[in-house]
Amino acid sequence: MSQEEWLPVGTPMPFEPGGRFKAAGVRSSFVDPGRALAGEARIVLADIPVDGREAQRLLPLGLRMQDPPMARVFVVNYGNAVYTESYNEASVILRVRSLLGSGGHVCWMVVDDDTALILGRDLLACPKKLADIRYEESDGGVSAGVTRRGTKVLSIEAEIMEAEPSPAPVYGEKAFNVGGPCQALLFNPVWCFRLGEVIHSSHSARGTITFEESAYDPLAAVVGRREVDGPLRVAHVDINRLCYMFPVGIAGPAWAMRTYDLRFH
Bridge partners of residue 93, in order along the sequence: 72, 106
Whether residue 187 contacts residue 179, with contact meaning beta carbons closer than 8 Å, is answered with no
Cα dihedral 231, 232, 235, 237 sign: positive
How distant, in Å, are the alpha carbons of 35, 41, 127, 249, 258 from that of 263? 31, 24, 5, 19, 10
Instruction: Report residue 90: phi and psi, to 5°.
Output: -140, 150
Stated pTM of the model: 0.87
Q: CB-hemisphere CA count at 13 Å for 91?
A: 24
pLDDT tens-place string over residues 53-73: 999 999 999 999 999 999 999
pLDDT given at position 6: 47
Candidates 178, 197, 171; CA nearest to 89 is 171
pLDDT given at position 35: 65
- What's the CA gap between 165 and 1, in Å, rounded? 64
pLDDT given at position 225: 83
How many angstroms separate the first and last alpha carbons of the chain?
42
pLDDT given at position 13: 45
3-class secondary-structure state, position 52? helix
Candidates 17, 10, 16, 42; CA nearest to 238 is 42
- What's the CA gap between 183 and 251, in Å, rounded? 10
- What's the CA gap between 32 and 225, in Å, rounded? 42
pLDDT given at position 185: 76
Whether residue 203 contacts residue 163, with contact meaning beta carbons closer than 8 Å, is answered with yes
Q: What is the pLDDT along the chain (265 residues), one digit of tens a residue?
A: 444 444 444 445 444 544 444 555 555 545 555 568 899 999 999 999 999 999 999 999 999 999 999 999 999 999 999 999 999 999 999 999 999 999 999 999 999 999 999 999 999 999 999 999 999 998 899 999 999 999 999 999 999 999 999 999 999 999 999 999 988 878 999 999 999 999 999 999 999 999 999 999 999 999 988 899 989 999 999 999 999 999 999 999 999 999 998 998 8
Candidates 18, 31, 1; CA nearest to 244 is 31
pLDDT tens-place string over residues 7-47: 444 445 444 544 444 555 555 545 555 568 899 999 999 99
Map out the domains of the chain with their CATH numbers: 37-263 (2.40.400.10)
